């Protein structure tokens, strides 16, 4: 993926600008979200783009931090997936493309990136990829914990004298 150029040596995430353009979007479970409400002051202080860093990587880290916050508030989060053109092949509930588009706009506004089709396409791609793998890891962790819990229960049951 091509580089996204940063206009200044250090660009901090402008939470005030992002909040001005934020609006409520709905996740498939009916969870209403103002994305910027899930950015804490501590998180925001760490959202800085520098010329030395990989901008794409920094944006992906920002996305993951916000996703952790969203996941902690929405019990249905592991059941979601990214938008796809192949709806019949989907085993999970897709997050609407509108939510991704809005999230991408928040990142572009917050990081003061040039708002053009090229940048928006790159940010959207990073967002979609990051969300997809975040959800996959979340489900894998859930499955691992569930398998471990079931194994412990089976072991406990097998140790009971009847």
- Which secondary-structure segment (H or E) carries 81? strand 80-81
Look at residue 59 and tell me if it is in a domain.
yes
Look at residue 65 and tell me if it is in a domain.
yes
Count how many domains the chain has.
Answer: 1
Specify the pLDDT at position 145: 73
Look at residue 33 and tell me if it is in a domain.
yes
Specify the pLDDT at position 154: 65
Look at residue 5 and tell me if it is in a domain.
no
The residue segments making up the domain with residue 151 are 10-158
Specify the pLDDT at position 1: 46
Look at residue 76 and tell me if it is in a domain.
yes
- The C-alpha atoms of residue 25 and residue 27 are separated, in whole angstroms, by 7
Higher pLDDT, 16 or 142: 16
- The C-alpha atoms of residue 23 and residue 143 are separated, in whole angstroms, by 34
- The C-alpha atoms of residue 156 and residue 56 are separated, in whole angstroms, by 48
The set of residues, in sequence order, having a beta carbon less than 8 Å from that of 43 and lying 6+ positions away, is 65, 66, 69
Look at residue 2 and tell me if it is in a domain.
no
pTM value?
0.81
Specify the pLDDT at position 49: 80
Look at residue 81 and tell me if it is in a domain.
yes
Q: What six digits make up the tokens of 88?
A: 């019949």
Look at residue 3 and tell me if it is in a domain.
no
């Amino acid at each position: 993926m091509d580089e996204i150029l940063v206009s200044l040596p250090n660009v901090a995430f402008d939470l005030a600008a992002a909040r001005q353009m934020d609006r409520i979007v709905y996740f498939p479970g009916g969870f209403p979200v103002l994305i910027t409400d899930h950015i804490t002051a501590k998180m925001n202080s760490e959202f800085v783009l520098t010329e030395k860093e990989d901008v794409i990587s920094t944006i992906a880290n920002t996305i993951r931090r916000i996703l952790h916050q969203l996941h902690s508030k929405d019990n249905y989060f592991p059941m979601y997936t990214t938008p796809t053109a192949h709806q019949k092949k989907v085993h999970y509930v897709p997050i609407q493309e509108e939510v991704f588009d809005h999230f991408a706009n928040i990142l572009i506004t917050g990081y003061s990136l040039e708002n053009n089709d090229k940048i928006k396409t790159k940010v959207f791609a990073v967002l979609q990829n990051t969300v997809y793998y975040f959800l996959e890891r979340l489900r894998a962790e859930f499955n691992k914990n569930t398998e471990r819990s079931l194994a412990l229960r089976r072991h406990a049951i097998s140790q009971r004298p009847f």
